[in-house]
Amino acid sequence: MRPLSLILPALLIFTALPAKAGLVVDPRAYGAKGDGRTKDTEAIQRAIEAAAKTPGGTVRLAGGSFLSGTVLLKSGVTLRIERGAVLLGSTSHADYRKNRWLALVEAKGQHDISITGGGVIDGQGAALAADVLRLVNEKVITDPLAGDRPAEVNRPQLIELVDCERVSVTDVTLKNSACWTQTYLHCDAVVLDHVTVRSTAYWNNDGLDLVDCRHSRVTHCDIDSADDGLCLKSGDKGGCEDIRVEDCKIRSSASAFKFGTSSRSGFKHINLTRLSIYNTFRSAIALESVDGAVMEDIHISNVDARNTGGAIFIRLGHRNKEGRPGSIHDVTISDVNVEIPAGPPDAGYEHAGPASRGPAHNLFPSSIVGLPGHLVSGISLKNIHVTTAGGGQRSVAEVPLSKLKSIPEREDRYPEFSMFGELPAWGFYLRHAAGISFENVTLQCTGKDCRSAIVGDDVHGLKLDHVTLGPAGEEPVIALKDVSDFTLTNSPPPVGAKEVVRRVQDN
């Protein structure tokens, strides 16, 4: 075997060699019209097959709208949609073929594939979803409706790539999907850069989903979606590992940056920094493991969230009744600024977040919640500033501090910031947790709120240092039940506080 010192230079030289320019293919050479009316699917696919015959081949769409059903990308091929050109999704469900789900652009088991060029992929999602719904009602498709919408497997995405390596999607606009906008499943070395998403044409439209992906980067993306903005998900194949997200902008009628809800294998070595969030219905940051996943070594920093429903939501649940709960530990969240309004943050959007179907409630606090005997642990919050409209009133809803055990566990429920119903805190609610630290954290309430700023229940190791909470409400500033190893340092009480810390017990 050759010494590693000799192999490495050879590898570096090999990877530095310029890629050989391949064939550039225009689908018009195979009969494409690019007029937005003629189906160009076959012509585009023939162009892809031709480009795949030479290393580094390119299919170039320019100067038109190319109406198409599903096309399959091949290894070594770049789909280049020039600025001013559109790959236009057919509005007929019959024009789509299934890889795992349906999609306009698909690939499975391919490598070195790219989508770029400055142009647009437009799924015409509202019209396409209407066609799917018609088929469902006629029982051509047998999957049941979910919330008056066809199941995800029947609504085509714009992009779905499965089991692919070395994927690049750059400088392209993705709009009007009938389902999730883009899914990368079991992929390695995905690069997403300067991708603009405008996917609000229909419900249940995640902006970007990385599922069981590794060694991947998401940078300079601008996402506006009717469902979760940027999602990391984990099925049964390895989990998400070594993912970096930088310099992105997100608006969502659900949560902005989210782990889960599919969370089976794990999330490890994830770094996110410089994220701008606006007009988002649920949480700015949602970290959820409810199907057995291990979540560890997560670092989130430099997040600015304006007009969003919640700041931070961390939840360990147990939806996978056939297996053990997962775990959440070693999470650092720093340099975060969040502003939470009194009303719906995404009011006026066509597909806004759902109105509450339960009893009336006050604004929800941030939450860090595990399970009895399975604690969320090792959570560090540093340089956090949350400003909430507050306004919590007993006449709307109340959980007395003497009745904390009445708050439901809901271990098998879909995770979201409102899942526990009314909560007794306006700032942070902590339950079944260990090793939680707040350093240089400000929780500010602009409206009078009757609730405590922080409530901890079954917490082992809670350290608050340089924490500013206020203004004082009717309840103690901090309420603790079954909390051990608690320290509060360098944290003056808010003006007018009658009681800073109270140890409470359930009646």
Question: pLDDT 10s per residue in the chain (507 long)?
Answer: 334 343 333 333 223 333 446 899 999 999 999 999 999 999 999 999 999 998 899 999 999 999 999 999 999 999 999 999 999 999 999 999 988 899 999 999 999 999 999 999 999 999 998 898 888 765 555 555 456 677 888 899 999 999 999 999 999 999 999 999 999 999 999 999 999 999 998 878 899 999 999 999 999 999 999 999 999 999 988 899 999 999 999 999 999 999 988 999 999 999 999 999 999 999 999 999 999 999 999 999 999 999 999 999 999 999 998 899 999 999 999 999 999 999 999 999 888 887 766 788 999 999 999 999 999 999 999 999 999 999 999 999 999 999 999 999 999 999 999 999 999 999 999 999 999 999 999 999 999 999 999 999 999 999 999 999 999 888 999 999 999 999 999 999 999 899 999 999 987
Same domain, 175 and 299: no
Q: In 97-163, which ranges are continuous DSSP H helix?
A: 125-137
Which residues make beta-bridge pairs with 445? 388
Q: Please state, as a whole number, how many other Cβ atoms lie within 10 Å of the Cβ of residue 83.
A: 12
Angstrom distance (rounded) from CA 414 to CA 258: 13
Same domain, 301 and 165: no
DSSP-derived 3-state class of residue 448: coil
Same domain, 306 and 190: no
Residue 213 falls inside a structural domain: no
Boundary residue ending a domain (205, 229, 257): 205
Tokens, residue 147: 């919330």
Instruction: Say if residues 304 and 269 touch (Cβ distance below 8 Å).
Output: no
Boundary residue ending a domain (178, 205, 232): 205
Q: Which helix (H) or strand (E) holds 327?
A: strand 327-340
Angstrom distance (rounded) from CA 390 to CA 100: 44
Same domain, 320 and 195: no
Q: Which domain holds residue 28?
A: 20-205
**What is the pTM (predicted TM-score) of this model?**
0.93
CA distances to 239, 406, 417, 439 from 457, in Å: 31, 12, 17, 20
The residue length of the chain stands at 507
Same domain, 191 and 43: yes
Same domain, 199 and 303: no
Residue 1 falls inside a structural domain: no
Number of domains in the chain: 2
Same domain, 60 and 161: yes
Residue 244 falls inside a structural domain: no
Boundary residue ending a domain (205, 233, 249): 205
Residue 212 falls inside a structural domain: no
Angstrom distance (rounded) from CA 266 to CA 397: 37
Instruction: Say if residues 254 and 231 touch (Cβ distance below 8 Å).
Output: no
Q: Which helix (H) or strand (E) holds 64?
A: none
Same domain, 332 and 198: no
Angstrom distance (rounded) from CA 475 to CA 502: 9
CATH of the domain at 193: 2.160.20.10
Instruction: Say if residues 67 and 61 touch (Cβ distance below 8 Å).
Output: no
Tokens, residue 254: 């659900």
Same domain, 184 and 304: no
Residue 254 falls inside a structural domain: no
Angstrom distance (rounded) from CA 379 to CA 396: 32
Same domain, 192 and 301: no
Residue 87 falls inside a structural domain: yes
Residue 56 falls inside a structural domain: yes
> What is the signed CA dihedral for 91, 196, 267, 76, rounded to 10 degrees?
80
Same domain, 186 and 292: no
Of 234, 279, 272, residue with least CA distance to 254: 279
Digit-coded pLDDT (tens) for 114-161: 999 999 999 999 999 889 888 876 555 555 545 667 788 889 999 999
> What is the signed CA dihedral for 355, 358, 362, 367, rounded to 10 degrees?
-90
Same domain, 458 and 327: yes
Residue 4 falls inside a structural domain: no
